Structure 1
Amino acid sequence: MHAHIAEAVKKPDLISLEPGLACLRFETMKVYSALGAVRHLLDTGAVRPGDTLIDSSSGIYAQALALACHRYGMKCHIVGSTTVDRSTRVQLEILGATLEQVAPSTDLRLDQEARVRRIAEILAANPSYHWMRQYHDAIHYRGYREVAESICREIPAGPLALVGGVGSGASTGGIVSYLRESGRDVTLVGVQPFGSVTFGSEHVADPDMIIAGIGSAIAFDNVRHKLYDRVHWVNFDCAVSGAVALLRSSGIFAGLSAGAAYLGALWERRRDDSPTYVFIAADTGHRYVDSAYARHEQAPDIDTLKPHEITSLDELRLPWSTADWPAVAP
C-alpha cells in the first residue's frame, strides 16, 4: 500500500508494443524528479518541513512539485507560464500551492527569462525560500535511479536504446546515467523541437511549436550533452502524427513529446534493430486534445514521414531532422 498518491502516480508502465520496442509510459514523469529532490533536501537538512519551495514551470513540474510538497509537508510556490492549464491551476490551488503566471508572451525566451527574473525578486523578498532550480540542479537526476532499475529488471540483458524528450535533461540524462552505471550498453537518443537552444536549433522556427517541456530558449545546466548519441528535431505536425499513430496502434494516449519520441524510435529501429528500443511517454495526452488530437484526421501517415539526416547544424530543416550528435556538436 502506498503512503501517498505521489508514490503511486510516479510509477511508469513498461509496455511492449512489438518485439524490440517498448514504451515507458508515465502519468506524469516529473513526480520522480520532484520526490527524489525534496526527499534528499530534507534528509540533508537543506530544508525543513514547513519551508517554502519555489520554482518555474510550464505545467508538469508544477504539479509534480506540489504533490511532493504535499507528501512531505512543505509549502509550494510556482512561477508559471501562460501554458499552465486550468486543470493544473485548480489542482495546485486545492493542494495548497500558490501560482503566479507571468504576462503572456509569444516569445519562449522572453517567457522563460521573465519567470527567472520574477523568482529572483521573490527570493530577494523571501530569503528563506528554497529555489528548486529544476533546470540546473543535478539533484533532479536522483529520482530516476529507480526507473533505471525497473528497466534493468524488465528488459532482457543486451543493448538498449533510450529515446525521449530532452527538456531539463534530468529524465533522459538521469535514466541513462544510472543504466550505464549498472553496466548496461545504452544508446541515448534525444528529441527536440525546432527553435530550442539546447541542441542548436534556435535558428529554425516552428510557428506551431507547442511541444511543451522538451526544448528551451535558455541554456539548462542539467543537459549533459555528452550523454547523447543521436538527436531528432521534430516539428509540431510530425509530433501530432506520431502521437496519433501511437494511440491508434497501441491505445496509449500520451503527450506530443511521446509522439515525437515514438517517431524517433521507429526510425532508429529501421537503421539498427539490434538494441531493444524504449521510448518515453512523459505524460498523458489530455492537455493536447484541442490543440493536437482534434486534428487527427489531417495528421500525415507516419509511413510518409522521413527525417533529413544532417552533417552540420546549418543543414537543420523542417519538418524533421536527425544526426549523430557528436558529429554535429559545436
Structure 2
Amino acid sequence: MHEHIAEAMKEPDVVSVPPGAICLRFETMKLYAALGAVRHLLATGQVRPGDTLVDSSSGIYAHALALACHRHGLRCHIVGSTTVDRTLRVQLEILGATLEQVRPSRNLRLDQNLRVERIGELLRENPHFHWMRQYHDSIHYLGYRDVADLVRKEVPEGPLTLVGGVGTGASTGAIADCLREAGRQVRLVGVQPFGSVTFGAEHVADPDMIIAGIGSSIPFHNVRHELYDRIHWVNFDYAMSGAVELLRASGIFAGLSAGAAYLATLWERERSAEGTYVFLAADTGHRYVDTAYARHADAVGVGSMRPHEAAAQEELRHPWSAMDWPPRDRAQLPARPEPVPEKA
C-alpha cells in the first residue's frame, strides 16, 4: 500500500509496443524529479515542513511539485505558462498550491523569459522561498535512479537504446547515467523540438510547437550533453502524427513528446535492430486533445515519414531531422551555460 497518491502515480506502466519496442508509460514522469529533489532537500535541512517551494512550469512539473509538497507538508507556488489548463488549475488550487500565469504569448522564448523574470521578482520579495530550479539544478537527477532500477528489472539483459525527450536533462539523461553506472550498455537518443537552444536548433522556428517541456528557448543548465549519442528534432505535425499512430497501434494515449519519441524509436530500430529499444511516454494525452488529437485526420502515415540526416546544426530542417552526437565538427557544440545562482 502506498502512503500517498504521488508514490502510486509516479510508477510507469511497462508496455510492449510493436514492432519490438518497450514503452515506459507515465502518468506524470516528473514526479520522480520532484519527489527525489524534495526528499533530498528535507533530508539535508535545506528546507523544512511549512516552507514554500517555487518554480516555473508549463504544466507537468507544476502538478508534480504540488503533489510532492502535499506529500511532505510544504507550500508550493507556481509561475505557470499559459499552457496550464483549467483541469490542472483546479487541482493545484485544491492541493493548496498557488498559481500565477504569465501573460499570453505565442512566442516560446518570451513565455519562458517572462516566467524566469517573475521568479526573480518573487525571490527578491520573498527571500525565504526556495527556488527549485528544475531547469538548472542537478538535484532533479536523484529521483530517476528508481526508474533505472525498474528498467534493469523489466528489460532483458543486453544492449539498450533509450529514447525520449531531453527536457531539463533530468529524465533521459539521468536514467541513462544510472544504467551506465550499473554496467548496462546504453545508447541514448534524445528528442527535441525545433527552436530549442539546448542542442543548437534555435535558428529553425516551429510556431506550432507546443511541447516546450522537451526543449527550451533558454539554456537548461542541468542538461549533460555528453550523455547523448543521437538527437532527433521533430516538428509539431510529425509529433502529432506519431502520437496518433502510437494510440492506434498500441492503445497508449500519451503526450506529443511520446509521439516524437515513438517516431525516433521506429527509425532507430529500422537502422539497427540490435538490442532492446525503450522509449518514454512522459505524460498522458489529455491536455493535447484539442490542440493535437482532434486533428488526427490530418496525421501523416508513419511509413511515409523519414528524418533528414544532418551532419551539423545548420543542416537541420523541417519536419524531422536527426544527427549523431556530438557532431563531427566539435565547433558546433552549444556553449556551456554559465552557472545560475541559487537566488535570482
1:93 match: secondary structure: helix
Structure 2 residue aligned with 1:40: 40
Tell me if the contact between 2:161 and 2:189 (Cα under 8 Å) persists in the aligned partners.
Answer: yes
Q: Output the amino acid matched with 2:180.
A: R
Task: Flag structure 2 segments of 5+ consecutive residues without an equivalent.
Answer: 334-344
Structure 2 residue aligned with 1:290: 290
Structure 2 residue aligned with 1:77: 77
Give the drift of 1:265: 0.3
> Could you report, residue by residue, the CA deviation over 1:99-155 in whole angstroms, capped at 9, with x for unpaired residues?
001111222112111111111111111111100000111100000000000000111
Q: Distance in 1 between matches of 2:106 and 2:19?
A: 43
Tell me if the contact between 2:261 and 2:280 (Cα under 8 Å) persists in the aligned partners.
Answer: yes
Give the drift of 1:19: 6.2
Tell me if the contact between 2:163 and 2:188 (Cα under 8 Å) persists in the aligned partners.
Answer: yes
Q: Percent identity?
A: 72
1:321 match: secondary structure: strand
> Could you report, residue by residue, the CA deviation over 1:271-296 in whole angstroms, capped at 9, with x for unpaired residues?
11102000000000000111111111
1:205 match: secondary structure: coil
Structure 1 residue aligned with 2:197: 197
User: Pairwise mapping of residues 259-274 of structure 1 onto structure 2 (< 5 A)?
Assistant: 259-274=259-274
Matched, 1:13 2:27: no
Tell me if the contact between 1:309 and 1:323 (Cα under 8 Å) persists in the aligned partners.
Answer: yes
Matched, 1:306 2:338: no
Q: Output the amino acid matched with 1:180.
A: R
Q: Distance in 2 between matches of 1:36 and 1:229?
A: 26
Q: Distance in 2 between matches of 1:220 and 1:14?
A: 29
Tell me if the contact between 2:107 and 2:207 (Cα under 8 Å) persists in the aligned partners.
Answer: no
> Could you report, residue by residue, the CA deviation over 1:7-54 in whole angstroms, capped at 9, with x for unpaired residues?
000001111114641001000100111001001100000000000000
Q: Distance in 2 between matches of 1:188 and 1:50?
A: 39
Structure 2 residue aligned with 1:277: 277
Q: Distance in 2 between matches of 1:240 and 1:81?
A: 21
Give the drift of 1:327: 2.1
Q: Distance in 1 between matches of 2:200 and 2:31?
A: 28
Aligned length: 330
Change in 2 beyond 3 A, CA 1:183/1:234: same
Tell me if the contact between 2:27 and 2:283 (Cα under 8 Å) persists in the aligned partners.
Answer: yes
Q: Distance in 1 between matches of 2:101 and 2:188?
A: 34
Matched, 1:156 2:156: yes
Q: Output the amino acid matched with 1:299.
A: A
1:105 match: secondary structure: coil
Tell me if the contact between 1:89 and 1:99 (Cα under 8 Å) persists in the aligned partners.
Answer: yes
Structure 1 residue aligned with 2:239: 239
User: Pairwise mapping of residues 106-255 of structure 1 onto structure 2 (< 5 A)?
Assistant: 106-255=106-255
Q: Output the amino acid matched with 2:193.
A: P
Task: Flag structure 1 segments of 5+ consecutive residues without an equivalent.
Answer: none
Q: Distance in 2 between matches of 1:245 and 1:55?
A: 34
Q: What's the C-alpha RMSD, in Å, of the aligned pairs?
A: 0.9
1:274 match: secondary structure: coil
Q: Distance in 2 between matches of 1:237 and 1:116?
A: 28
Tell me if the contact between 1:20 and 1:275 (Cα under 8 Å) persists in the aligned partners.
Answer: no
Tell me if the contact between 2:4 and 2:71 (Cα under 8 Å) persists in the aligned partners.
Answer: yes
